């Protein structure tokens, strides 16, 4: 491999002069610069970009600390962040390892920026590793965190918007399948705001051992629910599987709305009505924050923003004509 010293020997000049010419720095005449550039081209010189970046303590890398969960949302968001990063000259490295272990690795690799999505409180070891991290951290999908950028998601409003959509279609009896999260709070707030027929028996956790019998109960009989809100992909898959077993048709027998808008939901045999953050916009906003395009409020160091969600109406919800 040709080095700068080889070019210096061929040109009869010093190593420093060649370095200045190749990096377009002052201290070398234009005539000499062009001569050195011509010799470098003749010798097929290729600069060692990695070494240069290490010397500058900059690698143009973004590390993703992703939860080790199965789901289309994280796959699609990871792909979108990678595409958005490539547009801006960044390489993206993804890890689903323990956050402390992954951040330690990113520290060793001199990763410039880190995006973290976590469902649990990180360990003390993670925070110690964070104290050694020289780059900038963005907590994605989380509430505000001290000394870091944060891009939250208003999931409560998302579920309120979903309930409103179903109410506008004439559904007053709406079941909820999911966990005890801010999405459940949004559902109950929406049911109260639109004066709908709330029933605690119609709130069912998809991991409940009696899930099938409970959902069967609220989706049958004279007082059955005419619409169901699934708060996640797991809740959706469990609900769809039971609907097939019961012979319930979507949307003819029951309308179905799900949180999270991933491209695959449009490809279902019955394209799904969804509410959730736009994945392309979420990726773009995250990169805007990390690259300094999005500015913090005046007098503040960190960007703290909330991402609002979008309702995408497809064929899985319809006007309720059975009441």
Domains of the chain, by residue range, sit at: 4-47, 61-154+280-307, 155-276
pLDDT tens digit string along 285-307? 999 999 888 888 888 889 999 99
- Our CA angle for 50, 53, 54, nearest 5°, is 85
Give the residue ranges of the chain where pLDDT is below 50: 50, 53-54
What pLDDT, on a 0 to 100 scale, did the predictor assign at position 27? 82
Region for residue 60 given its phi and psi (left: phi exceeds 0; alpha: psi -120 to 50; beta: otherwise): left
Same CATH fold, 155-276 and 61-154+280-307?
A: yes
What pLDDT, on a 0 to 100 scale, did the predictor assign at position 279? 97
Q: Please report where in the chains the tokens 């959706």 appear, as a residue.
A: 236
Collect all residues with Cβ–Cβ distance below 8 Å to 72 and sequence separation of at least 6. Answer: 233, 260, 262, 264
The CATH class that applies to domain 4-47 reads: mainly alpha
CATH, domain range 61-154+280-307: 3.40.50.2300
What pLDDT, on a 0 to 100 scale, did the predictor assign at position 265? 95
- Our CA angle for 152, 180, 315, nearest 5°, is 75
pLDDT tens digit string along 22-66? 877 778 898 998 999 899 889 888 766 545 544 556 678 999 999
Q: How many CB atoms lie within 10 A of CB 35?
A: 16
- Assessment of whether the complete model's pTM goes beyond 0.85: no
What is 155-276's CATH superfamily? Response regulator (3.40.50.2300)
């Amino acid at each position: 491999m040709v080095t700068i010293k080889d070019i210096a020997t061929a040109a009869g000049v010093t190593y420093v002069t060649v370095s200045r010419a190749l990096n377009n720095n002052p201290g070398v005449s234009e005539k000499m610069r062009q001569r050195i550039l011509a010799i470098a081209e003749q010798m097929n010189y290729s600069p060692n970009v990695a070494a240069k970046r290490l010397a500058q303590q900059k690698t143009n890398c973004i590390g993703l600390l992703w939860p080790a969960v199965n789901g289309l949302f994280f796959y699609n968001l990871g792909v979108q962040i990678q595409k958005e990063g490539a547009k801006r000259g960044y390489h993206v490295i993804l890890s689903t390892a323990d956050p402390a272990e992954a951040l330690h690795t990113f520290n060793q690799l001199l990763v410039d920026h880190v995006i973290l999505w976590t469902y649990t409180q990180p360990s003390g070891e993670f925070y110690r590793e964070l104290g050694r991290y020289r780059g900038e951290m963005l907590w994605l999908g989380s509430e505000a965190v001290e000394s870091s950028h944060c891009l939250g998601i208003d999931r409560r409003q998302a579920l309120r918007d979903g309930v409103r959509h179903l109410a506008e279609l004439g559904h007053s009896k709406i079941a909820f399948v999911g966990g005890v999260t801010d999405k459940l709070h949004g559902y109950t707030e929406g049911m109260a705001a639109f004066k709908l027929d709330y029933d605690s028996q119609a709130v069912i956790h998809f991991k409940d051992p009696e899930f099938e019998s409970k959902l069967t109960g609220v989706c049958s009989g004279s007082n059955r629910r005419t619409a169901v809100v699934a708060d996640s992909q797991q809740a959706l898959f469990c609900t769809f599987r039971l609907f097939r077993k019961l012979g319930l048709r979507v949307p003819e027998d029951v309308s179905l709305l799900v949180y999270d808008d991933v491209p695959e939901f449009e490809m279902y045999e019955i394209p799904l009505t969804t509410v959730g953050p736009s994945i392309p916009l979420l990726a773009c906003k995250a990169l805007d924050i990390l690259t300094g395009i999005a500015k913090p409020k005046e007098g503040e160091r960190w960007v703290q923003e909330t991402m609002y969600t979008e309702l995408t109406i497809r064929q899985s919800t319809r006007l309720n004509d059975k009441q």
